[in-house]
Structure 1
Amino acid sequence: MNEVLYPVLAVTAWAGCAVKLQGLRRGGNPAGYAVCVALALLGSTFTLSTPAVWRWLDRATGVPNLAALWAHLSVVGFSGTVQLLLLWWVTPPGEASRRARIRFAFLATAAVAMVVLFLASGPTEPRVGEFVATYVSRPVFAVYILVYLGAFGLGLIDVVRLCWPYARVSGRSWLRRGLRATAVGAMAGLVYCAIRISSVIGAQAGADPRRWEPLAPIAASIGAFLVIFGLTMPAWGPRLSQLRGWVRRRQQYRQLQPLWVDLHRLMPEIALEPPVAVPLSTLDRRLYRRVIELYDGWLVLRPYLDEAAGGRARRLGTQVGLREEELAAVVDAARLRGAVRAYARGARGPDETEAAPVRPDEPADLAGEVARLVQVSRAYAFSPVVAAAVAGREVLFPNQTEVAM
């Protein structure tokens, strides 16, 4: 299991560190650098815990199981870095400095104790797999593990205690999600600590600690993945939102196509620029222009709007229980379809007295106008209510009542 999980975690942690570093090039801050250090320490932990790297380090240094000590110290360093980062986020600078000094002194003491205990416990036989389970029956090594778990576990408790409440008051959605993911990851890390403590207690009582060993890497891996995602979410989350928004706007652009095609066929002059089937780099500008073109075509069709079809669409839509915005869309779509048919025949209806559709001038108006026009375009192309109203029918066929919009 470790041959697969730990390399994947190492790559994920180093990739997260690279993502954060790339963001810092555009303007760094101490918190950003602290996140990079935390991710680098996690990457170091799982790199060294990878069996192939563990064996290589044993051969290169001649010190058996040195990778274990290094990985454990990296875990303690990671825990301390995240604690310090959160302290600077959620407490006033003076208080944060005082608490940071206390935590740093505690972690430094724990690290020195770990080195002394590791050397004194003498794990001289290389044990890539089940390292803790092999040596935890030795009292000195058991103390080493307890010091390691104490430093790590207290840090995780601090992470949960600080992350979860702060997430509730965070104004940035991706930071809020990241803090919650980090807190849940820390909880999974506490499960790992509990498993390791059970191994220590069981070994001293004469039980076989290998019984719990398969659970430890699973809990550690789940926790690490969540912490990595949580710490990097504020960096990549907004980009994901932008991508989601771009995909939605591209879909809306295509959904406006049926209505736009009919209007453009009758009035090619409404096109502000040559049409593009799937705009990519110019999508936002193209979508805005498409809205303007639709309103221009709608304005030309005002004298032709089929009010009788609109009335029938309102009655039919009310009968099938359409919501208010859906009802407004099918009424407009029916009037427009009747107008397109009349315009194509060259007929002319009486001038309308209602106000003409207004172009959205402000970007804030665009989202609402696009959503409204998408509903009208979809009803124009697909609604059986619109088709029945334009055809002069006052009833829908039985199989059309459930797909009225």
Structure 2
Amino acid sequence: MYLTAALLLLAVLWKVYQLFQAPQDRALRAVTFCLLCTAGSFSTGLPAENHALNALAGTGAASLASNVLLLCAVYWLLSFYLHSATDCQRASRRARLEAVPLAMAVIVITLATIATPAGVRGRPYGTADLHTPQVAVFFIAAQLYLVYALATTAWWTGRYARMSQKPVTIGLWMTASSLVSMAAANTLRIAMDLIAWHGSAVPTGLNKSVAMLFALAVPAFVVGLSYPGVMLRLAGFRIWRQHRRTYRRLRPLWQLLHEAFPEDALHREPAGLWRENLTVRGVHRRYYRRVIECRDGLVRASPYMAHQDVQTGATPEALAGYLRSALRSQAAGEPAPTHAIAVALPGENSLDADARQLVALSDALATRG
């Protein structure tokens, strides 16, 4: 229970943060409301919240609120896929149509709660008196809507997953599997309700199967919705860490070239040290600046290396010796040849490949001292 609560809390906080970043994104708004309703439904089942709500609004209020929020969560999940798979106008029209069966289910369970005798109203599903018609109608109406909405949403999820790529597709298939499991569990619950309503004993194995399906499906549902965003953030963190490490390893080369050609520094607005060291944009910006400044410095130094007969494919250690000698000549004011030569060029045309060549040269300079 507490693990599920922790997962729900993290997922809700993450989606609320994303919604603040993109408040006009209707699909994101739908999935955020879905998680909020799911968290609200789960919280009303906790003993303290359940007791407080019943004391405030009357016996049965917590059960009614929990089920209404659960139905709304599934509706918002369906709305999310509508907005993801169709244009805005069609999605909005379809979402309004899908609100009709939701409203009907909410009205039925609300009337059933009001009509239920106080002595049997608001009991948990496991101890509910399903011989009472109002109680049976309450649970069957809620579960019928859940089966319809979950099955429809699972179909849309699977369709959307087939059109997606990793890591999105992995999260979608996890979500689709959890939705199928929840739809199956609610179908079994309807069968259990009908059996109990007619006075027969519900098989123990059927009850355990439903409990197992829900125990697996709810965490999988939360993880599936959060998986793509988490994986993208992890990928971004790996790039941030790589750029930060490269920036530091380039310091010996950059410092040597900056002392020789201080006018080549790329000036910009000053920023706080804390922000520059930790924020994603700050680290990437400093990484790009340092790679460009190092490459510009090598271009400036390369004419002084031309007369040293630098061999193509020279090792970083050899290039480090050539570079130090060239910079001594530059500092002494010796004339340089009029042409530059290629120094530590990468085998492919990309900034990261260029950075790897510069890092190798910088490491060689640090080793030679």
Tell me the amino acid that sits aligned with residue 378 of structure 1: A
Q: Which residue is 1:45 aligned to?
A: 41
Kept after mapping to 1: 8 A contact 2:257/2:294: yes
**Distance change in 2, residues 1:293/1:228 (3 Å):** closer
Q: 2:262 aligns with which of 263, 269, 283?
A: 269
Kept after mapping to 2: 8 A contact 1:57/1:66: yes
Provide Cα deviations, 1:266-293, integer angstroms capped at 9, x if missing partner: x26366279x999436544433332233
Q: Which residue is 1:256 aligned to?
A: 250
- How far off its partner does 1:151 sit? 1.0
Matches within 5 A, 1:346-361: 355-356=341-342
**Distance change in 2, residues 1:374/1:261 (3 Å):** farther
**Distance change in 2, residues 1:376/1:9 (3 Å):** closer
Q: Which residue is 1:362 aligned to?
A: none
Q: Which residue is 2:150 aligned to?
A: 156
Q: 1:221 aligns with which of 208, 218, 222?
A: 218
- How far off its partner does 1:45 sit? 0.8
- How far off its partner does 1:349 sit? 12
Provide Cα deviations, 1:105-131, integer angstroms capped at 9, x if missing partner: 322222233234445565835887xx2
- Range that drifts further, 373-382 or 208-217: 208-217
Matched, 1:377 2:359: yes
SS of aligned partner of 2:356: helix
SS of aligned partner of 2:203: coil
Q: Distance in 2 between matches of 1:59 and 1:39?
A: 26
**Distance change in 2, residues 1:43/1:109 (3 Å):** same
Q: Distance in 1 between matches of 2:117 and 2:247?
A: 68
Kept after mapping to 2: 8 A contact 1:45/1:70: yes
Matched, 1:147 2:144: no
Q: Distance in 1 between matches of 2:317 and 2:338?
A: 16
Q: Distance in 1 between matches of 2:326 and 2:11?
A: 63
Matches within 5 A, 1:216-365: 218-226=215-223, 228-229=225-226, 243-264=237-258, 267=260, 269=262, 272=265, 279-280=276-277, 282-299=282-299, 300-304=301-305, 310=311, 331=314, 333-343=316-326, 355-356=341-342
Q: Which residue is 1:111 aligned to?
A: 106
Kept after mapping to 2: 8 A contact 1:58/1:67: yes
Matched, 1:22 2:20: yes
Q: Distance in 2 between matches of 1:213 and 1:220?
A: 10
Q: Distance in 2 between matches of 1:5 and 1:163?
A: 25
**Distance change in 2, residues 1:104/1:291 (3 Å):** closer
Q: Provide the identity percentage.
A: 22
Q: Distance in 1 between matches of 2:261 and 2:88?
A: 64
Q: Which residue is 2:77 aligned to?
A: 82
Tell me the amino acid that sits aligned with residue 351 of structure 2: E
- How far off its partner does 1:53 sit? 0.3
TM-score (norm 1): 0.66
Q: 1:183 aligns with which of 170, 176, 180?
A: 176
Kept after mapping to 2: 8 A contact 1:164/1:183: yes
- Range that drifts further, 145-154 or 350-359: 350-359
Tell me the amino acid that sits aligned with residue 19 of structure 1: Y
Tell me the amino acid that sits aligned with residue 262 of structure 2: E
Unaligned runs of 5+ in 1: 315-330, 360-366, 391-405
Provide Cα deviations, 1:168-222, integer angstroms capped at 9, x if missing partner: 4469x88767655543443453354366457547864443476457535523531
Unaligned runs of 5+ in 2: none
Matched, 1:67 2:65: no
- Range that drifts further, 249-258 or 47-56: 249-258
Q: Distance in 1 between matches of 2:88 and 2:255?
A: 61
SS of aligned partner of 2:119: coil
Tell me the amino acid that sits aligned with residue 49 of structure 2: V
Q: Which residue is 1:325 aligned to?
A: none
Q: Which residue is 1:193 aligned to?
A: 186
**Distance change in 2, residues 1:24/1:92 (3 Å):** closer
Tell me the amino acid that sits aligned with residue 269 of structure 1: P
- How far off its partner does 1:71 sit? 0.9
Kept after mapping to 2: 8 A contact 1:48/1:54: yes
Kept after mapping to 1: 8 A contact 2:303/2:339: no
Q: Distance in 2 between matches of 1:335 and 1:349?
A: 23
Q: Distance in 2 between matches of 1:382 and 1:123?
A: 82
**Distance change in 2, residues 1:13/1:153 (3 Å):** farther
Q: Distance in 1 between matches of 2:306 and 2:189?
A: 76
